[in-house]
């Protein structure tokens, strides 16, 4: 990836961001996996869940961001973390669980990558994946609108095109079911309670806004964020207590080889 991730920014909403991997892990049926990979481990929040649930297993975190890996190593010094790109990575033999929370939406041609990973698992191995399914939500649509409408349009054109809508659940089923003894696909829509519209902007500064902001200089970045914040405030009205609800649909896939 061209622009690096900021672990600090990402962790500002750690509780909310860690809820989906908890929900995904709760569905993993393995009793005592020996070797687990946390793909796109980020700052180690999802890795920590895996270690808590499976203290006997060898857990390896993999990420392409050096900042994220540094943070993850600080947080979990006894765990191993490796740099790698999921576009080309293949699991070594005897991987029992490949866990990918909030990462594959960033990997080009990710359906083919998921198929390749499932294919590489031994019989009974589990591929467990969660991705935001929110490209149609106002927060993402407004990002693209602001991107197209300001003096920054040419600089962020690539970012605006970077996150495609996810394929349909049927597409994932057709792709993965032939390789799976069991498959479970579901959606959960979270409604995160946020302090106000600015908090929604902060949330996405740790994820989907990064590709829009990183090509801009400070002035343009300020202009982009002011425009985006005003539109977010209009789209996410305050509730009776001043808070706003960030609606957040997510897709979960659990496939057993
Ligand atoms: C949204 S964070 C997810 C962190 C953590 N798994 C969690 O559950 O909160 C996405 C992570 O995926 C990593 N990532 C993005 N593209 C990647 C790729 N092609 N290969 C490996 N890691 C990648 C990013 O560096 C980032 O740390």
Residues ≥6 apart with Cβ < 8 Å to 74? none
Helix (H), strand (E) at residue 235: helix 218-235
Q: How many angstroms separate the CA atoms of 181 and 12, rounded?
A: 38
Between 113 and 8, the higher pLDDT residue: 113
Residue 4: pLDDT above 60? Answer: no
Separation of CA 87 and ligand 1 centre (Å): 12
End-to-end CA distance of the chain: 29
Between 195 and 7, the higher pLDDT residue: 195
Residue 3: pLDDT above 60? Answer: no
Q: What is the mean pLDDT of residues 85-91?
A: 96
The predicted pLDDT at position 168 comes to 96
Nearest CA to ligand 1 atom 16: 106
Separation of CA 241 and ligand 1 centre (Å): 34
Residue to mutate (ligand 1; options 40, 70, 87, 116; most atoms within 8 A of CB): 40
Ligand 1 atom, smallest distance to 206 CA: 1
Share of the chain residues as helix, strand and coil, in percent rounded to the nearest 5: 45, 20, 35
Separation of CA 230 and ligand 1 centre (Å): 29
Residue to mutate (ligand 1; options 37, 38, 41, 42; most atoms within 8 A of CB): 42
Phi, psi of 213, rounded to the nearest 5 degrees = -85, -30
Q: pLDDT digits over 197-234, tens only?
A: 999 999 999 889 998 999 999 999 999 999 999 999 99
Q: pLDDT digits over 135-156, tens only?
A: 999 999 999 999 999 999 999 9
Q: Which residues line ligand 1 (CB under 6 A)?
A: 1, 5, 17, 21, 40-42, 45-46, 63-65, 68, 85-87, 101-103, 106-107, 207
The predicted pLDDT at position 11 comes to 77
- Single pTM value for the model: 0.92
């Amino acid at each position: 990836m061209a622009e690096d991730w900021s672990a600090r920014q990402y962790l500002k909403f750690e509780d909310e961001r860690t809820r989906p991997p908890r929900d995904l892990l709760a569905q993993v049926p393995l009793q005592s996996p020996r070797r687990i990979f946390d793909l796109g481990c980020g700052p180690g929040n999802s890795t920590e869940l895996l270690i808590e649930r499976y203290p006997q297993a060898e857990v390896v975190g993999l990420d392409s961001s050096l900042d994220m890996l540094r943070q993850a190593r600080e947080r979990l010094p006894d765990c191993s973390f490796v740099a790698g790109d999921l576009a080309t990575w293949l699991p070594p033999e005897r991987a029992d669980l490949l866990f990918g929370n909030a990462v594959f939406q960033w990997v080009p041609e990710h359906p083919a990558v998921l198929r390749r990973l499932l294919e590489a698992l031994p019989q009974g191995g589990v591929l467990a994946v969660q991705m935001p399914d929110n490209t149609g939500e106002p927060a993402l649509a407004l990002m693209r609108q602001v991107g197209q409408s300001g003096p920054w349009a040419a600089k962020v054109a690539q970012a605006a095109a970077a996150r495609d809508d996810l394929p349909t659940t049927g597409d994932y089923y057709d792709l993965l079911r032939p390789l799976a003894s069991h498959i479970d696909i579901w959606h959960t829509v979270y409604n995160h309670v946020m302090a106000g519209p600015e908090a929604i902007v902060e949330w996405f500064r740790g994820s989907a806004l990064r590709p829009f902001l990183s090509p801009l200089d400070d002035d343009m970045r300020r202009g982009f964020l002011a425009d985006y914040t005003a539109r977010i405030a209009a789209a996410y009205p305050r509730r009776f207590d001043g808070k706003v609800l960030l609606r957040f649909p997510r897709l979960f896939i659990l496939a057993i080889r």
